[in-house]
Amino acid sequence: MSRVGKKPILIPENVEVKIEGQEVTVKGLKGELTKEIRPEIKVEVKENLIILSPQIPSPALVYKGGAKVEKKETSSIETPKQNKFATGQTKKTKAFWGLSRALIFNMVKGVTEGYEKKLEIKGVGFRASLEGKNLVLHVGFTHPVKIEAPEGIKFSIEKNIITVSGADIEKVSQIAAKIRKVKPPEPYKGKGIRYVGEIVRKKVGKKAITTTG
């Protein structure tokens, strides 16, 4: 049994949770998120709580390589030990249970509080600006680099700090990583884009070797 997965999730006020099969939708003041949960996990809403529990997946909802496929019928004389698929599901259910609970918890928090990532620009002449909803980076290239804001993502700039905010923690993290990748901090002077609070290990530059007589 998963100690994390069995913990119920409290549904805050002004949050609506809808479950259709394995699809979970959470709607709140910060937006609406939908995610499909693994077929090994059952999701229910009881009063103001979201309850997750393990279940035997339907043959039509078998996952293989990230996609749904039809499960082939097994021989009536096949035992659970012989059925490799069934044995694998048993081993993985605990992990799926805890993961599913974490995903739904992040959705609930996202539509109520939201998530944000902050990045810092360092370098003479390096700066960021907004062009409508999109972010424009001036970081030493011959041309500015534009980062488009996908649906549900907002950019804000204060001095040399870029804030990426949104309800979907995965999307916020992905966009923040994309911004950092444009100009990662170089190892000598630390110029570039880094997460606020990130420690960049600096390399020592070449020094003239002096000898003492």
pLDDT digits 0-9 by tens, 69-98: 555 544 333 434 444 444 344 568 888 999
**How far, CA to CA in Å, does 116 sit from each of 29, 152, 165, 166, 168?**
16, 12, 4, 6, 10
As a whole number of angstroms, the distance between CA 198 and CA 120 comes to: 9
Q: Is 206 contained in some domain?
A: no
Q: Which residues contact 142 (CB under 8 A, 6 or more apart)?
A: none
Is residue 182 domain-shared with residue 108, that is, in the same domain? no
Query: How many separate domains does the chain show?
Result: 2
Is residue 67 domain-shared with residue 86, that is, in the same domain? yes
Is residue 99 domain-shared with residue 119, that is, in the same domain? no
Domain boundaries, position 142:
115-195
Position with higher pLDDT, 72 vs 122: 122
Q: Which residues sit opposite 67 in a β-bridge?
A: 64
Q: Phi and psi for 128 in degrees, rounded to 5?
A: -130, 150
pLDDT-above-90 percentage for the chain: 69
Which of the four pLDDT bands, split at 50, 70 and 90, describes residue 201? Answer: confident
pTM, 2 dp = 0.77
Is residue 50 domain-shared with residue 86, that is, in the same domain? yes
Q: Is 1 contained in some domain?
A: no
pLDDT at 102 over 50: yes
